[in-house]
Amino acid sequence: MDMEVRLRKRRITSATAGWWLRVGITLLGLVIAAGPSTSMAVASPTPPVPGQTEPFVQVSKNRSDNVSNNRSDSVSSARTGASESTAEPSPPPPSQTGDTFVTNSGSNTVSVVDSTNNTVAATIPVGISPTGVAIAQDGTRAYVTNNVSNTVSVIDTTDNTVTDTIPVGSNPTGVAITPDGTRVYVTHVGSNTVSVIDTTTTPDTVIATIPVDFGPYGVAVAPDGARAYVTSAGGSDVSVIDTTTNTVTATIPVGDSPTGVAVTPDGTRAYVTNNVSNTVSVIDTTTNTVTDTIPVGSNPAGVAVTPDGTRVYVTNVVSNTVSVIDTTTTPDTVIATIPVGAGPMGVAVTPDGTRVYVTNLDSDTVSVIDTTTNTVTDTIPVGDSPFGVAIATS
């Protein structure tokens, strides 16, 4: 089946407020465009210039700072400058425990949010179109996938500087780190592979490239570090990677266009957002089978589990909401739907489980949710088109 046919099959329409979301995998990336009932204008992807890689995310807005392939790695958004000024005149130390890292896919930067006062403490230039971000458990390093640069930036969180840039495959997107911090797994939506980075070498080095199914997007590592779960947004399955042999040991059928994935703290279940099916699949990691399918909002993308494993937070891109799933019921049940900004994408829970941070791609903000009341308590301006989010654990 050629790419255009596959893209047309991925097209869906929402009946609410004239919204629609086109989700399609091309050879050069996943294109997400949101619709005409907001201030955003729908943009059709343009053919890439020969020899040039197309951005993973294409968002057209009614302003002049749209994402483009030929922008430099410098900060190019006026909003980024505004974000930096919010922390003045006395920004907290950048190494402060619990900082939140947000990738700004349109600004080519990472915003560092001081989670104690929800202000931007630093803005770090990285590669072109940063998407995914993961932080080592010791809190000393953050890894950022640069979707157009085909690199991973390594950030020293003690001084918020980029210390290394690692070449990887085409259109790196998702990123996850093993619990011991020795391996980093990176998905490549453009080359249908996963890179494995060894962090014990100097510099960090790619030691393996694993073929997976079409359009690998999200990745999560089990708490014991033995397995990595990779969603195939161009299909309808999840690949299970044995991290000892770095080979695919199982392929699990889920919903249509699986995107995000998160594993529970006890490692017994994995939650997968199915972007076109508007559902979340619950995988039993012992049997590698789907045990439940939960309806959520329109076009779910990001997913995160609370540290106690009792709640799962899911971003719904077109609904502009976050679904809260109670995992203590049988079956799992959506107990709340929280309005957030426009185009919610990434989601992360604080180590103490009291707050959830959500990136709003089309609002250029991060929503902060109180997990006790499941209400938004703060909205933080960040860079242009914020995408991924991760919170330091120590």
Q: Looking at residue 227, what is its pLDDT?
A: 98
3-class SS of residue 33? strand
* Token reading at 144: 């950022």
356/307 Cα distance (integer angstroms): 11
Six-digit token pair at 204? 């960090």
Give pLDDT, residue 98: 81
CA distances from residue 323 to 11, 190, 265, 336, 371 in whole angstroms, order as listed: 23, 30, 19, 6, 12
Q: For 80, which DSSP code?
A: H
Residue 230: pLDDT over 60: yes
* Tokens coding 383: 């860079």
Of 223 and 31, the structure prediction assigns the larger pLDDT to: 223
Strand partners, 32: 23
Query: Poorest-confidence range of 46-55, 210-219, 275-284, 338-347?
Result: 46-55
Q: Which pLDDT tens digit goes with each residue over 62-73?
A: 333 333 333 333
Residue 250 has pLDDT above 60, yes or no: yes
Mean pLDDT value across residues 233-242: 97
Residue 253 has what pLDDT? 98
- Does residue 159 contact residue 143 with C-beta atoms inside 8 Å? no
Helix (H) or strand (E) holding 282: strand 279-284
Q: Report the C-alpha gap between 183 and 224 in whole angstroms.
A: 13
Q: How confident is the model at residue 393 (pLDDT cuts 50, 70, 90)?
A: confident
Separation in Å, CA 132 to CA 16, 240, 254, 384 = 29, 19, 22, 15
For residues 61 and 197, what is the distance between their CA atoms, to the nearest angstrom?
35
What residue spans of 117-245 are helical by DSSP H? none
The arithmetic mean of pLDDT across residues 69-94, rounded, is: 37
Residue 299 has pLDDT above 70, yes or no: yes
**Residue 175: is its pLDDT beyond 70?**
yes
Q: Which of 19-33, 212-226, 346-360 has the lowest mean pLDDT?
A: 19-33
SS3 of 70, please? coil
Tokens describing residue 172? 């790196």
Percentage of residues of the chain with pLDDT beyond 70: 75
- Show Cβ contacts of residue 338 under 8 Å, excluding neighbours closer than 6 positions: 321, 322, 323, 324, 369, 374, 375, 376
Tell me the pLDDT band of 239, cut-offs 50, 70 and 90: very high
Q: Is 139 helix (H, G, I), strand (E, B) or coil?
A: coil
Q: What's the distance, Cα to Cα, between the start and end of the chain in Å?
A: 47
